[in-house]
Amino acid sequence: MIHSTLEFLTAELNAFIKLKVGDTRGNRIYLSSVTNEAGIAIPDQSLGLSLINIEEERTIKEQRSTYLNALGKTEKRNPEIQLNLYVLITANFQNKKVNDSSDDYVEGLKQLGYAIAFFQSKNVFTKENSPGLASFDPELTKIVVELYSYSFEQLYNFWTVVGAKYLPSVLYKVKTLKIQENAIQESGDPIEKIHLHTIHKS
């Protein structure tokens, strides 16, 4: 579900940015790690969408563990896990093309701005407003994307950890993904009556 969520958001962003730049050829954004052993992993002249952290959402965590199935039997399984994904969108426009007078840095900021504009205009994705959602994962019913601001210290620490020079980027919090494997631990008949036996002493 994590990969299908990010693949869906990448595809939606890609279609929007290609429309904005007026060029439908190729991809404008890639689902990619920020760096690899060779350096920046995001293709040049493009944006990268990268998962940088996964967080459990505890404030609305399901506590129930016993359920009644369609046959009227009780089933016990672990409560679902709800996750938030922290996704970084990075503009890798460092190298000028041969015989191209355009400024790569400015173009990178422009396309990063398109990504921000996209999520400003649409930050909730459902099967109703995004028909393509089900084709990525039938279990995906709703994705909410929020801009997440972090401090200069956090920014510095992140780029130090990945071992690269800072590139223009923006961080989003994608919430809330529900993970439920439905592994049944116990099953049986539901409790329908409770008998109480009392003993009276004379």
Domain edges within the chain: 2-184
In contact, 93 and 105? CB cutoff 8 Å: yes
Range of weakest confidence among 50-64, 102-116, 128-142: 50-64
Residue 134 has what pLDDT? Answer: 86
Q: How confident is the model at residue 57 (pLDDT cuts 50, 70, 90)?
A: confident
- How many angstroms separate the Cα of 122 from the Cα of each of 1, 16, 129, 144, 161? 21, 11, 10, 9, 32
Give the residue-averaged pLDDT of 114-126. Answer: 96
Q: How confident is the model at residue 72 (pLDDT cuts 50, 70, 90)?
A: low
Average pLDDT, the chain: 84
Residue 91 has what pLDDT? Answer: 96
Question: Which tokens sit at 200?
Answer: 């009276």
Q: How confident is the model at residue 102 (pLDDT cuts 50, 70, 90)?
A: low
Angle at 119 between CA 113 and CA 124, to 5 degrees: 180
Residue 51 has what pLDDT? Answer: 97
Predicted TM-score (pTM) of the model is: 0.80
Residue 194 has what pLDDT? Answer: 56
The three-state (H, E, C) secondary structure of 55-119, written as one string: EECCCCCCCCCEEECCCCCEEECCCCEEEEEEEEEEEECCCCCCCCCCCHHHHHHHHHHHHHHHH
In 106-182, at which residue ranges do the beta strands (DSSP E only) sit?
Answer: 124-126, 142-147, 169-179
Decide if pLDDT at 199 tops 80.
no
Q: What share of the chain in percent tops pLDDT 90?
A: 53
In contact, 14 and 54? CB cutoff 8 Å: no
Q: What share of the chain in percent tops pLDDT 70?
A: 75
Q: How confident is the model at residue 197 (pLDDT cuts 50, 70, 90)?
A: low
Q: How confident is the model at residue 131 (pLDDT cuts 50, 70, 90)?
A: confident
Question: Which tokens sit at 190?
Answer: 């539901």
198/84: higher pLDDT: 84
For 136-191, the pLDDT digits (tens) are 988 888 999 999 999 999 999 999 999 999 999 999 999 977 765 654 555 555 55
